[in-house]
Amino acid sequence: MADREQPVTLRTRKFIRNALLGRKQMVVDVLHPNRANVSKDELRSKLAELYKTSKDQVSVFGFRTQYGGGKSTGFALLYDTVDAMKKFEPHYRLVRIGVAKKIEKPSRQQRKQRKNRSKTLRGTAKVKGPAKKKEK
Q: If pLDDT is split at 50, 70 and 90, which confidence band does 130 have?
A: low
Mean pLDDT of the chain: 88
Report whether 10 contacts 28 (CB < 8 A).
yes
Question: What are φ and ψ of residue 13, in 5° steps?
Answer: -145, 170
Amino acid code (one letter) for 100 = A
The rounded distance, in Å, linking the Cα atoms of 31 and 136 is: 74
Q: How far apart are the first and last CA of the chain?
A: 72
The pLDDT, as a whole number, for residue 88 is 93
The rounded distance, in Å, linking the Cα atoms of 8 and 30 is: 7
The pLDDT tens digits for 14-58 are 999 999 999 999 999 999 998 888 999 999 999 999 999 999 999
Q: If pLDDT is split at 50, 70 and 90, which confidence band does 2 have?
A: low
pLDDT higher than threshold 90 for residue 77: yes
In the chain, % of residues over pLDDT 90: 69
pTM: 0.76
Q: If pLDDT is split at 50, 70 and 90, which confidence band does 7 have?
A: confident
Q: If pLDDT is split at 50, 70 and 90, which confidence band does 123 have?
A: confident
Average pLDDT over residues 62-88: 93
* Residue 51 exposed, middle or buried by CB count within 10 Å (0-12, 13-18, 19+): middle
Task: List CB contacts of 115: < 8 A, sequence separation 6 or more.
Answer: none
